[in-house]
Amino acid sequence: MLPCPSDLSLLSLRSAPQHLPSTLIKAIQRIPRARPGTGTVDCIVQEASFRELGDWQRLIHDPYIAPDPARLDRSWHWPRYLTASYLLNDVHGRLTEAFQIMVSSPTGRAVPVGVAMLVSGYPHPGEVGEMGTFVWFLSSTPPAALQAFGVTDRFVVMPLLLDSAVQASRWQGLHGRVALHADHRGTPKQQDDLVKRYVACGLTQRNYLKGTPLSWFRKMDSRYFTYGMASAHACTLKWDPLR
């Protein structure tokens, strides 16, 4: 006999590992300045959709990132990527989210320091049967753009975009599992720099998984980086004083 729905909910409660309720999983409210020892400033983590990504594209990306040949993200188009992600992922039951981290200008206007697009519900590399959140795109605001909006400080951005991805994974019940795939474009030096920055954020490079199946149709290369539950915990613990 099949258990009735109330039996099922009891079973799931009994077997579920103990984790924080999602309302206690919090995003950061402060962001450190890039220069060590110079303190933190107020910040806001904001969900972003077409309107916010359109503003990012028009006010930050097009004037400051697209013309810069040193930026690996110069050809990106965030609103179009959001459309593409909705089309490609919704039918698979995967959730697309984008987040911006905002700081205040001296005149009290919000200014984004970085943006990330996440898709939750992918098989997590290296953990068979587990799902995680995939960081599709992340980008930081160039200093010239910050200055144009009156912000003269620079900030620690990438680790805190990744912190937001870990929290988003937890909000989806995926226990902080996060993966990303390093961009294959750019010069060897640009790629090496990217890898170094990901490793410095506590991400594990899954190069030993090269060639192993990620799904029925795909194999992994050596450019996947992941947080598992433990490394995600270590990553976010470091930033807990900022929440």
Partner 1 sequence: MGSLFAHREFPELELSPQPAERKVQVRLLRNVLTVIGRRNLLRQPMRWADVSRFAETAAVVEATTAHMDGLPAEADFGSFDELKARRDETNVVRLR
- In single-letter form, the type of residue at position 78 comes to W
Site for partner 1 (CB under 8 A): which residue of 25, 95, 195, 209? 25
Closer CB to partner 1, 30 or 233, in the complex: 30
Q: By CB under 8 A, is residue 14 in contact with partner 1?
A: no
Q: Kindly tell me the burial class for residue 108, based on how many C-beta atoms sit within 10 Å of its own C-beta (0-12, 13-18, 19 or more).
A: exposed
* Cβ distance to partner 1 smaller for residue 14 or 92: 92
Rounded to a whole number of angstroms, the minimum distance from the CB of residue 6 to partner 1 is 27
**Measured distance CA(30)–CA(134) in Å, rounded:** 24
Q: How many other CB atoms sit within 10 Å of the CB of residue 28?
A: 21
Q: Which two tokens stand for residue 21?
A: 């309720």
Is 64 a binding residue for partner 1 by CB under 8 A? The answer is no
C-alpha 22/C-alpha 175 separation (Å) is: 10
CA 240/CA 228 separation, integer angstroms: 18
Task: Please report how close the Cβ of residue 33 comes to partner 1 at its closest, in angstroms.
Answer: 17
DSSP type of residue 221:
-
Stretch that binds partner 1, among 12-20, 63-71, 74-82, 190-198 (CB under 8 A): 74-82
Quote the least distance from Cβ 77 to partner 1, whole Å: 6
Cβ 145 vs Cβ 67: under 8 Å: no
Span near partner 1 by CB under 8 A; candidates 8-16, 108-116, 199-207, 226-234:
108-116
CA–CA separation, 171 and 177 (whole Å): 11
Residue 132 engages partner 1 in binding (rule: CB under 8 A): no
| 74 binds partner 1, rule: CB under 8 A | no
Count the neighbouring beta carbons within 10 Å of the beta carbon of residue 24.
8
212 forms part of the interface with partner 1 (CB under 8 A): no
* Shortest distance (Å) from residue 217 CB to partner 1: 5
Q: Does 217 participate in binding partner 1 (rule CB under 8 A)?
A: yes
Q: How far apart are the C-alpha atoms of 25 and 130, rounded to whole Å? A: 20
Query: Contact region for partner 1 (CB under 8 A) — 1-9, 54-62, 124-132, 199-207?
Result: 54-62
With beta carbons less than 8 A apart as the criterion, state whether 201 and 159 touch: yes
Binding mask of the shown chain, residues 85 to 104, with x at each position contacting partner 1 by CB under 8 A: x-xx----------x--xxx
Q: Report the distance separating Cα 84 and Cα 98, nearest Å.
A: 13
32 binds partner 1 (CB under 8 A): no
The contact set with partner 1 (CB under 8 A) reads 22-23, 25-29, 42, 44-52, 54-55, 58-59, 75-77, 79-85, 87-88, 99, 102-105, 108-112, 134, 136, 149, 167, 171, 181, 184, 216-218, 243
